Structure 1
Amino acid sequence: MSTQLLFYKEPTVLEKDKHADLTFKREGSYSFASAMNSAPLAGVEFTQACHDHPILFVKNEKSGFIPVVLLSLKKDSHDLGDDWGGKYVPAFIRRYPFGVTPEGAIVFDKEAPHFSGGGDAIFDENKEPTETLKQIVGFLRSVDTGYAETEEFCRALAEKEILQPLNRALKFGEQQVNLTDLYRVDEAKLYELDEKELHTWFKNKWIAWCHSHLHSLAELNGVAKRHMDALEAQAPKAE
């Protein structure tokens, strides 16, 4: 999960000798992620994200499944705007324009507007990390830790066969959108866990994550409404 750099135009390893004069300016726009209709999510984010987005699972080779927030019913865009209208923004997107390689090196998107001038220095006069860079690295490490914990959670879900296909169709007049290749927790199977397993799942916060996921399914209505509003906005106006 953490190694995907989907919208980075020129990911570059951050080096103090090469980038001693680099400055970073925070941006309030998430326009770089405008082509996404879903985004990976860490389990630790579930309790916040569940109030704004449906959290679902998709198949993944590494851990069997990964959780994602469904942003749109469109193939390659969403209707949240560049500022997301106050909706929760996953760490997968918030970490941009920085990231981490599988080897643990910090990278940044050289083409991002965040580095076009002004803002905070990344390195001090001795080429040591500034407080700004330390905070960024701390955030990136916490994101990676969250993804590792989530992979363990997903392996447990797959091992216990607790996920089932969503099997949901949404109708918009004569148009129907079938939600395929998406999975949800089967509550009945969740509570077939024995006492020892339940203790482990509670301790790891996996039960809480499952409940947040189930709560989030009501937000499919919000995604459907945004889709309907977009269709109506595109419809020809009557003369």
Structure 2
Amino acid sequence: MTPQNPETGTVASNGATEANAWPLFYREPRVLSSVEHAQWRVRPTGVGFAAASNSVPVVVGEFAAAARSYPLVFAGPDNTPLAVLGVEAGRNRFVNGDAWTDGAYVPAYVRRYPFVFVQTRDPEGYVLAIDAGSDAVIPSGEEGSPLFENGEPSELTRQALQFCDTFTREDQATRTFAAALAEQGLLIERSANIAFADGRRTSVDGFQVVDGEKFAALPDAVVVDWHRKGWLALVHFHLASLGRFNDLLTP
């Protein structure tokens, strides 16, 4: 598993985004402008865009909810937490057509699409962008909801701005948590060899999990500090979620 940066791309002063920094799902992020995108609208299209992704990033604020539906693992150079959505490459078993499986938690990373924050270089900060390559985005007409009304952000755009702001702050907290796990030497490489009932076999590798023995042996001072930060609970959610791998074997 090789996660892409969940947050964010980078934008230059002219509004252009750097393609090599685009996160998962995004093809043509455009910084929103009340002039350039005055007529743009967004229509509901479902979650078909996530059908080929067998994992997506999750942030610490959704560990409890996500752990009830998916295995949570860590991957990549930044030890990004991921919800595993399938054990076969190119298949998200929770997406059927344009719908997510009823009763399963929908990760915030999926819910924020087609919006995203991109990082500015001068001055340093974040601005709201939208994926112009999304089927949900239409440049004109009456279908869907407007991005701007009378030159001002619409309710849809304001909600997207708030959602992306919250996600970015959660992403920063998630990076701090993941770095602490690595600093304490708790993350260990794991792989899974999968045998399906119909005889097919596959393997999942390139991810890390928390070593339960090392976690139990943390110094008392670290335990107290992590308890106050809420990190002990996050580790327990993660460890409990690993039993969900068996759920991914069903058709």
TM over 0.5: yes
Distance 1:8 1:158 in 2: 29
Distance 2:235 2:119 in 1: 28
2:44 paired residue number: 26
1:202 paired residue number: 227
Deviation of the 1:129 alpha carbon: 1.8
> For 1:83, which of 96, 99, 116 is the aligned residue?
99
Q: Percentage identity across aligned positions?
A: 29
Change beyond 3 A, Cα 1:167–1:32: closer
Q: Is the 8 A contact 1:2 1:92 kept in 2?
A: no
Distance 2:249 2:196 in 1: 9
SS at match of 1:177: strand
Q: Which has the higher helix share?
A: 1
Determine whether 1:12 maps to 2:30: yes
SS at match of 2:201: strand
Determine whether 1:135 maps to 2:152: no
2:110 paired residue number: 93
Q: Which has the higher strand share?
A: 2
SS at match of 2:148: coil
Distance 1:182 1:115 in 2: 34
Determine whether 1:217 maps to 2:239: no
In structure 2, the gaps of 5 or more residues are 1-5, 9-21, 121-125
Deviation of the 1:132 alpha carbon: 2.2
Distance 1:26 1:115 in 2: 9
Deviation of the 1:158 alpha carbon: 0.5
In structure 1, the gaps of 5 or more residues are 230-239
Distance 1:201 1:108 in 2: 36
Q: Cα RMSD between the aligned structures?
A: 1.8
Q: For 1:119-158, what aligned pairs fall within 5 Å after superposition?
A: 119-125=144-150, 127-158=151-182
Distance 2:192 2:66 in 1: 21
2:82 paired residue number: 68
Deviation of the 1:207 alpha carbon: 0.9
Distance 2:188 2:62 in 1: 22
Change beyond 3 A, Cα 1:179–1:113: closer
Distance 2:226 2:193 in 1: 31
Amino acid at match of 2:68: H
